[in-house]
Chains A and B, each alone.
Chain A
C-alpha cells in the first residue's frame, strides 16, 4: 500500500476545489509542523504563525504538487523555508525600545502581545489534554497500548506492527482503532466540557 495514499486523495480533492479537504490535512499535520518550526524559533506562538503561513503557501502551491514525493515531505520543505526566511527577516529588523512609555502601558502591551497559548487558560487546557490522553493510554489493555504506541511513537506501518506483535494486519487495524476510540471518549469530554473551548480544537 502506498504510504501517502490517504493524503494524496485529500490533496486531489483540494486541487479540484474542495477546501474542506485541506482542513483535514491541516488538522493532521499542524502539531508536527509546529514542532518542526520550533527548531528554528523558540516561541510557540511565533511557531504557530510561521506554520500558518506555511500552510497557506502550501495551499497556493498545491496546483503544482504532482505527487512525486509524499505530501508531508513537500509540506515540511515549505515549512522549513518559511521558518528560515522568518528568522532572517526577524534578525534584520531592528529592536524598538520606547523609553517614554510608563509602566502601565508596558504591562498592557505585554498582555496584548501574549498569545492564547501563553495564557493560563491555554496552558491549563493543554496540560489537561496531555494528562487525559496519558491516563487513557495507561488504562488501555496491553495489546491495544502496544499497537497505538508502535504506530504513533515509532511510526511503524500496520504490516510492521503485525510482524512485531505476531498477528494479522486486520487485527492491528482493529487494535489501533479501538485504542483510539477509548482515548477519544475521554478526550472528547475534555474538549466539550473543559473550559468550553471545543470549537478551538485543532
Chain B
C-alpha cells in the first residue's frame, strides 16, 4: 500500500487532514475494504492505549451494524422521491386554482342574478323590454337607448337601489303606531319609531329615488357585462 496514502489515512483518523484531501480519501475509504480494515485497526490501537477495559476489541459489532444497515434504504434514495412527489403533486395545482376561481365567479354571478331578479324580474331581458323599462320611470330612456343601437344583444344588470322604498309612507305608519300604542309594548314601539327615523334621515340625504337608480344604471352601462 502507498505510504503517502497511509499517512493521509492516519491524519484523517485524527481529524487532521485538510478538507479537500478528506473528501477524496473518504470516497476511497468507503469502497476499499483493505483501507477500511487498516482504519479499523487504528481504532483498536487507540482503544488499547486508552485501556478501555471490558471492551471487546475483536467484537463483530461493525459487521453486525453493517449487515443491519444493508437492509435499510440508502439515505439519498430515501430523500430522492420527495422532490419527485412534489412535481407529481404540482400539476393539478393550477387546475385546482382555476376551478376554485371559476366556482367563486359563477357563484357570485348566480347570487347577483338572484338578487337582481328579486328586485326586477325582467332585468336580463333584451331590447324589446327597453321601452317598458323606460316607461317605469326609473331609468331614463337615453340611458337604456344605448343598448338599442342595432348592436348584438347585451345584458344590463342594474344594481340594487341603496334604500328600499317603504310600501306605506312612514309618516302615516308612525301615526298608526302612536294611535295604537296602547296595544303594543313600549320597547317594540320605540324600536319601530327609531327605525322610521333612521329611514327618514337616510332618504332625506338622497335627492330622489329615481335619480339614485339612474346613477346606478349609468355606472353599469359604463362597464358592459
Contacts and interface: CB of A to CB of B under 8 A. Distances in A.
A197 B54 CA distance: 19
B65 interface: yes
A35 B29 contact: no
A152 B50 CA distance: 7
Interface in B58-76: 58-66, 68-70, 72, 74-76
Contacts of B74: 17-19
B45 A183 contact: yes
B26 A6 contact: yes
B140 to A, nearest CB: 73
A191 to B, nearest CB: 7
Contact of B36 (A3, A27, A56, A129): A27
Contacts of A19: 30, 66, 69-70, 74
B59 A202 contact: yes
Contacts of B31: 20
Contacts of A59: 65, 69, 72, 75
A12 B16 CA distance: 17
Interface in A91-110: none
B13 interface: yes
Using C-beta atoms within 8 Å of the partner chain, give the interface range for chain B.
35 or more
B167 to A, nearest CB: 72
Contact of A51 (B25, B37, B48, B61): B61
A125 B58 CA distance: 7
Contacts of B63: 199-200, 202
B10 A180 contact: yes
B11 A149 contact: no
A52 B39 contact: no
B58 A6 contact: no
Contacts of A84: none
B45 A187 contact: yes
A114 interface: no
Interface in A18-44: 18-24, 26-32, 34-35, 38, 44
Of residues B13, B15, B22, B30, which shows the largest number of chain A Cβ atoms within 10 Å of its Cβ? B15
B172 interface: no
Contacts of A149: 49
Contacts of B77: 17
B163 interface: no
Interface in B1-43: 6-7, 10-19, 22-23, 25-27, 29-31, 36-43
Contacts of A5: 15, 17-19, 22
A122 B58 contact: yes
A77 interface: no
Given A13-B26, A14-B75, A173-B16, A197 B58 contact: yes
The 9 lowest CB-CB distance pairs between A and B, nearest first, are A17-B76, A20-B30, A202-B62, A31-B47, A17-B74, A133-B48, A117-B56, A21-B30, A27-B40
